Structure 1
Amino acid sequence: MKTHHKKLLHTAGTLIALIAIVFVAQRLWQNIHALDPGRITSATWLAIPLLCLVYSAANPIRARIWYHLLHAQQTPVHWAWALYAYGASDIAKYLPGNIFQFAGRQTLGMAAGIQATVLLKSAFWEITLMVGSGSLFLILIPPLLSHHMTISVPGIPILLILYITLVMILLGVLRRFFGPDANKAAALQVLFLGISGLTFAILMTVITRTPVDLSLLTSWTAAYIIAWLIGLITPGAPAGLGIREAILLLLLTHTAHEAHLLLAIAISRVITTIADIALFFLATTHSKQQTSPFSGS
């Protein structure tokens, strides 16, 4: 690829990221104003920064998933570059269209010399893993629809056991037919979804002052992931904005007071947005291997 073409691609990727930052700032400002400080207890004020730290620490897992998907296609990029390219482009998901994060990674990858087909396949597999892993959480939704939270054996919901079993089958199939990197990518995707959903469930527990209950935590976690998934696959919804919140309201209306639910939904959006901004700054300041995906060890 010619030098001036590379410069154009880098410039386009940078512009996408900068425009997205403006959108993120606007959404974050709107969500902060939606909060009612009068309903936020001291425990909630303590939980918010802690959950922000947890979610921010988990966010680079998504870059690691992409890293393994590239390796699965015999494209052994350096981890530092994968983190840079993923984090710098991922913030663009807040742009209307919900596709610019993939366009940004395509742009940065091609500018770095990675084949366009490899990048397209990695995007396809990334979306497939997100949808496939997220869809497994549908197994945990029935208690919310039936308003019964008591299906269990010695303290463990049967549906949770079924979910874990299906995850293990999925990982085994991927390892058998697509190799260890595909297996690692899927395992990390399940791990990240579990952390993100559990973050919301813990927030709900704190805000509603509900005693820790495995069935309730499982249902709240599953509801969050399904709401996230529907937001993901809805065309034109930047970062699932509005879609995720509406689905959560529908699924959880019988499990918590509406005011508490609205507060948890608003705070969770703030937490995820802050974590995405943190990933962007981590990636763009992690400059050691930005120029070449194949340098380093």
Structure 2
Amino acid sequence: MSFLHAAWLKRLKPLARWVVVGAAIAFLLHTLVRHWDDISSLRISPQGWSLLLLALGVTLLAHTWAGWVWSWALQALQQPIPGSWSAPVYLQTNLLKYLPGNVWHFFGRVRALRSAGVDNGTAIIGVALEPLLMAAAALVVGIATPTHYWPLQLLSLGVVLATLSPRWLNPLVNRLGRSKTAAITASESPSPPPIQNSKFKIQNSPSPGLRHYPLKPLLGQFGYIALRGIGFCLVLNAVTPLAAIAWPSTISAFSLAWLGGLVVPGAPGGLGVFEAIALSLLQGQFSAAVVLSAVVLYRVVSTLAEALGAGLATLDQSLSSTLK
């Protein structure tokens, strides 16, 4: 009976994902149709285009910084991975999150780590640790935005911060390291785009696991969330004047919307979920037409930044290989 119950839940899980994403997209389309006249009347000034270009640069810097901070998380797991290796791999695999399932960028990073000599358990935890750190940073920044779910935000933050402790993560590293299923999953995942710098090899891989709380990479993720929030504020400022005093609350609301897109499974790159949450959080501060225009523009800016980052990382590695 329990087997049938588990099988039924397994079938419902993908359906639930599509229901959430479909509801978010339907909400956005309804808002778009309702406020289309206001949206079509908005115009971006030459200064606004300059702000959009600056937002592109800031968002590209945010993704590059996240790739570098990832090396700090791996180093906390006793893996001597330099930022010069982790940042290009991170950028090259980032676009894979837009494939259905929203997990293929994780598979690409696990494969790159395994090819660099990192053991299976540490590779999986090293990849999973990065979004956990991001979620913790986003929750802290998001606390400044009062919502009906503020107690849940605090509870979630406490759970995430506790999960990051060596007491919980180290047994999981050891368990995954011995798991044949995990090894098969990592080895049979779809091949990511060629990672030019995957030739990097760890010499004498140390014992995996955290020796202390990963405070340094956690603090580094605050920089990532701040840069992403600044990029969003620049896009919003291109649509409508944004007072300096409104930037902190806007960044806080952005972090919650971004977090929603991160944690909802099955939404490729948080598509639809981020936009719907941002719209609901910011409508009291700005008109629906302004917020909807800003989130759509930001999606374009963010995707362009990710594509540009992947292209530059691949070009850099190709040039380095040619010079060698």
**Same fold flag (TM > 0.5):** yes
Per-residue CA shift, 1:68-115, capped at 9, x if unaligned?
111112211233322232222121111111111111101122223221
2:115 to 111, 117, 121: 111
1:74 to 2:56 alignment: no
Mark the runs of 5 or more structure 2 residues left unpaired by the alignment.
1-35, 149-153, 167-209
- Secondary structure of the structure 2 residue equivalent to 1:261: helix
Alignment map for 1:49-128 (pairs within 5 Å): 49-128=53-132
> 1:287 and 2:317 equivalent?
yes
1:195 correspondence with 2:227:
yes
On the 8 A contact 1:64/1:185 being kept in 2, the answer is no
Q: Which residue of 2 aligns with 1:208?
A: 240
Q: Which runs of 4+ in 1 moved over 3 A?
A: 34-38, 178-181, 288-291
CA distance in 2 between counterparts of 1:90 and 1:254 reads: 33
Q: Deviation string for 1:107-136 (max 9, x for gaps)?
A: 122223221111111122212211111111
Given residue 184 of structure 1, which amino acid in structure 2 is its aligned partner?
A: K
Equivalence for 2:299: 269
**Deviation per residue, 1:244-282 (Å, 9 max, x gap):** 000011111111122211111111111111111122112
Counterpart contact for 1:205–1:212, Cα < 8 Å: no
Q: Cα distance, 1:224 vs. partner?
A: 0.9
Deviation at 1:61, TM superposition (A): 0.9
Give the alignment partner of residue 258 of structure 1, picking from 278, 281, 288: 288
CA distance in 1, matches of 2:97, 2:308: 15
Tell me what 1:133 maps to: 137
The 1-side partners of 2:259 and 2:135 are apart by 7
Contact 2:63–2:91 under 8 Å retained in 1: no
- Is residue 48–residue 237 contact of structure 2 (8 Å, CA) maintained in 1? no
- The SS at the match of 1:113 is coil
User: Which residue of structure 1 aligns with residue 267 of structure 2?
Assistant: 237
Could you report, residue by residue, the CA deviation over 1:18-51 in whole angstroms, capped at 9, with x for unpaired residues? xxxxxxxxxxxxxxxx985952222211211111
TM-score normalised by the chain length of structure 1: 0.69
Given the superposition, is the C-alpha separation of residues 181 and 71 from structure 1 closer, same or farther in structure 2, using an over 3 Å criterion? farther
Residues 130 and 289 of structure 1: is their aligned pair in 2 closer, same or farther, counting only changes over 3 Å?
farther
Inter-CA distance 138–96: structure 2 relative to 1 (3 Å threshold): same
CA distance in 2, matches of 1:188, 1:58: 11
Could you say what secondary structure the match of 2:317 adopts? coil
Percent identity reads 29
State the distance in 1 between where 2:77 and 2:40 align: 48
Distance (whole Å) between structure 1 residues aligned to residue 121 and residue 212 of structure 2: 21
Deviation for aligned residue 1:237: 0.2
- Cα gap change, 1:37 to 1:98, in 2 (>3 Å): farther
* Structure 2 CA distance for aligned equivalents of residues 114 and 290 of structure 1: 23
8 Å CA contact 2:52, 2:301 repeated in 1: yes
CA 1:40 to 1:94, structure 2 compared with 1: closer, same or farther past 3 Å? same
Q: Specify whether residues 112 and 200 from structure 1 end up closer, same or farther in structure 2 by C-alpha distance, changes over 3 A only.
A: same
- CA deviation profile, 1:217-257 (whole Å, cap 9, x unmatched): 11111111111101111110011000000001111111112
User: Any unmatched runs of 5+ in structure 1?
Assistant: 1-33, 146-162, 292-297
Figure out how many residues of one structure are paired with residues of the other and give that number. 232
Residue 278 (structure 1) aligns with: 308
Give the SS at the match of 2:136.
helix
1:23 corresponds to = none
Distance 1:49 1:247, change over 3 A: same
